Amino acid sequence: MTEPSSYGQFCPVSMAAEVLCSRWTVVLLRELLAGSTRFNDLRRGLPRMSPTLLSKRLKELELAGVVHTVHTTGGLFEYHLTEAGEELLPIVMGIGFWGQRWVESRLSLRNLDPALLMWDMRRNLATDPLPKRRCTIQFLYPELAPAQRNYWLVVESGRVDLCSFDPGYEVDLLVTSSLRTMTSIWMGVARLSAEVEAGKVQLDGDPAIARAMQHWLKLSPFAPGERRVA
């Protein structure tokens, strides 16, 4: 027996849940609220979501009045939040801070994904502490398969690009770490300075860029959240 598609309740909570609580919808909203507008960028922030399901969820959000489609001059589509969609920011952030506060870190750190971690780093990276010239920072995760082991952040003119292949530029700083350690730092579970001192993170290259790493790396928006045991 299939479950009904609607809760069948007039309560605003149930009506909102019909829009927001299908699988992948809230994390898709996280990506839209973080500034991703193009289909391929949304996919990079949701690497385990199939393109078919992503298209379906975008259409559902558009029908619900949360998203509207914009045709660009290059013939591409962009997905922008409506006023109703923008009002979801404190709700989605609240869910994230609840997870940071109450979900045990050992559980969250089982879901390691280098592509998602690097994509998060790319869009949150602060360019001001870095040299005004082009700057290339390589991240190496030695324990991963060769295809997932290396990532490069290329910073130039205030723009940050993420490459999963060697862009051919001289590397200013090489950051070597396990994926778990770097994810722990990013999520605020571990401190960068402590992990460097313990030898879990190795920094090779420009000493000034290495010293400023905590300033340009920043952290996940949810890292400041206080952690509690549920």
Distance set, CA 133 to CA 5, 41, 51 (Å): 55, 26, 37
4 secondary structure, DSSP code: P
CA angle 180, 181, 185 (to 5 degrees): 115
Of 166, 220, 160, 161, give the one whose Cα is nearest residue 188. Answer: 220
Q: Is the pLDDT of residue 195 over 60?
A: yes
Q: Are the C-beta atoms of residues 81 and 66 closer than 8 Å to each other?
A: yes
Structural domain spans, the chain: 12-102, 106-217
Span 30-49, mean pLDDT? 93
Q: Confidence band (pLDDT; 50, 70, 90) for 188?
A: confident
- Does 12-102 match 106-217 in CATH topology? no
- Please give the structure tokens belonging to residue 6: 């609607």
Pairwise CA distance, residues 209 & 174, whole Å: 10
Q: Is the pLDDT of residue 221 over 90?
A: no
Choose the CATH number for 106-217 among 2.20.25.160, 3.30.1050.10, 3.40.640.10, 3.30.70.20: 3.30.1050.10
pLDDT digits (tens, 9 = 90+) for 94-136: 999 898 888 876 666 677 899 999 999 998 999 999 999 999 9
Cross-strand partners of 204: 174
**What is the number of helices (H) and of strands (E) in the chain?**
13, 7
Sign, Cα dihedral of 110, 114, 116, 118 = positive
- Please give the structure tokens belonging to residue 215: 């300033």
Q: What pTM does this model have?
A: 0.83
What share of the chain in percent tops pLDDT 70? Answer: 93
Q: Confidence band (pLDDT; 50, 70, 90) for 218?
A: confident
Pairwise CA distance, residues 106 & 103, whole Å: 9
Q: Are the C-beta atoms of residues 206 and 172 closer than 8 Å to each other?
A: yes
Q: The domain 12-102: what is its CATH number?
A: 1.10.10.10
